[in-house]
Amino acid sequence: AQSVTQLGSHVSVSEGALVLLRCNYSSSVPPYLFWYVQYPNQGLQLLLKYTSAATLVKGINGFEAEFKKSETSFHLTKPSAHMSDAAEYFCAVSPPNTGNQFYFGTGTSLTVIP
Amino acid sequence: DGGITQSPKYLFRKEGQNVTLSCEQNLNHDAMYWYRQDPGQGLRLIYYSQIVNDFQKGDIAEGYSVSREKKESFPLTVTSAQKNPTAFYLCASSLSSYGYTFGSGTRLTVV
């Protein structure tokens, strides 16, 4: 069975500091991997995705994530946090050859301290 | 612009009442999904549909029903059998394993 683990349900960083949100997956075959962002009372917006091309993926709003097969990880980073980055972040996996099956992590709430 | 439209944005339901949440997409996506979101619990899959006139139960289908008569539309009915319906409901669609597109959500409250 697939699973996605997001370490830390709440993360706080100071404005201008590094943002690191962790995501680990369990799969015998490298899946497709995604990060989504959700602002209050809104739907989820795709930040970036890994689909077996380059292991370092750049997304919107200055975020990037690196796929590390040996660690089964897909951590999300941003060099310098901005107040507007405060939101809920979800990691998701889609195993290959399973059609459109997605599995979401439980989310990480990011707070940015001025 | 292509996208997913959920309506209404806010919905209030009385005890014992059925309500229907609308989800329409103009992305020509084959698959559509309904998720329920509660604070601290992430997204839980209610129902999904890969093609028209076919749908499958997700992890928490009890108390909910869906239909998929048109490719563009995937309405969700919250029935009186759902004992704790207050939540944020999200509809999504996808064409392949390259990502979901989400609607802006419907917040349902029991009054």
pLDDT of residue A1 exceeding 70: no
Q: What is the mean pLDDT of residues B7-27?
A: 94
Q: What is the pLDDT of residue B61?
A: 96
Would you tell me how many other CB atoms lie within 10 Å of the CB of residue A57? 21
pLDDT of residue B4 exceeding 70: yes
Taking CA B73 as the corner, what is the angle to CA B91 and CA A59, rounded to the nearest 5 degrees?
Answer: 40
Q: What is the mean pLDDT of residues A48-59?
A: 88
Confidence of residue B75 (pLDDT cuts 50, 70, 90): very high
User: Which 3-state string (H, E, C) describes chain B?
Assistant: CCCEEEECCEEEECCCCCEEEEEEECCCCCEEEEEEECCCCCEEEEEEEEECCEEEECCCCCCEEECCCECCECCEEECCCCCCCCEEEEEEEECCCCCCEECCCEEEEEC
A-chain CB neighbours of B47 within 8 Å are: none
* Contact: A105, B42; criterion CB under 8 Å: yes
A-chain CB neighbours of B107 within 8 Å are: 41
pLDDT of residue B41 exceeding 90: no
Q: What is the pLDDT of residue A96?
A: 72
CA atoms within 13 A on the CB side of A84: 4
pLDDT digit string (tens) for A20-50? Answer: 999 999 877 778 899 999 998 899 999 999 9
Per cent of chain B over pLDDT 90 is 77
pLDDT of residue A101 exceeding 80: no
Start-to-end CA distance of chain A, whole Å, equals: 41
What does the block give as tokens for A19?
A: 């943002």
* Contact: B97, A43; criterion CB under 8 Å: no
CA–CA gap between residue B77 and residue B20 (Å, rounded) = 4
DSSP β-bridge partners for residue A19 = A78
Nearest to B94 among A42, A100, A106 (CB): A100
B-chain CB neighbours of A46 within 8 Å are: 99-101
DSSP annotation of A83 reads G
pLDDT of residue A97 exceeding 80: no
Residue ranges in A15-75 assigned as alpha helix (H): none
Give the mutation candidate from B48, B54, B93, B97 for the A interface (greatest A CB count, under 10 A).
B97
pLDDT of residue B46 exceeding 90: yes
Q: What is the pLDDT of residue A31?
A: 82
Q: What is the mean pLDDT of residues B8-25?
A: 93
DSSP β-bridge partners for residue A94 = A32
Confidence of residue A99 (pLDDT cuts 50, 70, 90): low
Nearest residue on chain A to B4, judged by CA atoms? A43
For A12, A28, B43, B52, the CA distances from A46, given in Å and listed in that order, are: 22, 25, 15, 25
- Residues 6 or more apart in contact with residue B49 via CB below 8 angstroms: B31, B32, B33, B55, B56, B66, B68, B74
Do you know the residue count of chain A? 114
**Nearest C-alpha of chain A: how many angstroms from B69?**
20
Q: What is the pLDDT of residue A95?
A: 78
Do you know the residue count of chain B? 111
Q: What is the pLDDT of residue B99?
A: 79
Q: Which of A104, A110, A93 is nearest to A20 (CA)?
A: A110
Nearest to B104 among A42, A90, A107 (CB): A42
* Contact: B100, A43; criterion CB under 8 Å: no
